[in-house]
Amino acid sequence: MIYVSRLEHFNAAHKLFNPNWSLAKNKEVFGPCANTNWHGHNYELIVTVKGKPDPDTGFVIDLKKLSTLIRTHIIEKVDHKNLNLDVSFMEDKLASTENLVVEFWKILEPRVREISNNIAALHSLKLYETPRNYVEYFGE
C-alpha cells in the first residue's frame, strides 16, 4: 500500500461558543477562543490517500487532480471566511477543528474515489490549527 499526501493552506476566523451555555461558562471552557469578536488561524490541511499505483501511470492518484479537488471543494469554501457564519457545511455546528475535519472528510471521501477511478481511497486528514495543535481523522 502506498500513501500519498497533499498539503494545502487556508486562513479562517471562528469562535468557540456553545449557545446553550452562559457567557461565563463559554469563557471558562473555551478561554480566548470564545472571544465575541472572533479570532483567526492559519490552517494547514494534509490530505493523505492510499492505494496501489495504476499500472498505466505509476500514480496512486494524480496530485494535480487531488489539489484541484481540495481547492475547489474545501479551500474556496473556507479561505478568508468566518467558519461560524460563512461556511454552509458548518451551520449549526461548533466550529472546532475536530468538527471541521469531519466535515472535510464527508466532502472529500467520495470525490477521491471518483477522481482516481476507485484506485485510491482517502486514508487520513490532518488539520493544523496552529503549528503545535492539530487533529488527525481516519473517517472512523
Confirm whether 123 is a catalytic residue: no
Q: In this structure, how many other beta carbons lie within 10 angstroms of the beta carbon of residue 128?
A: 19
* Options 80, 98, 114, 136, the catalytic residue: 80
14 part of the active site: no
Among residues 14, 41, 103, 129, which one is catalytic? 129
Can 80 be counted among the known catalytic residues? yes
- Residue 126: CB partners within 8 Å, gap ≥ 6? 45, 46, 48, 134, 135, 136, 137
**Angle of helix 63-70 relative to helix 97-115, nearest 10 degrees?**
140
- In sequence order, which residues have a C-beta less than 8 Å from that of residue 21 and are 6 or more positions away? 29
Residues labelled as active-site residues: 33, 80, 129
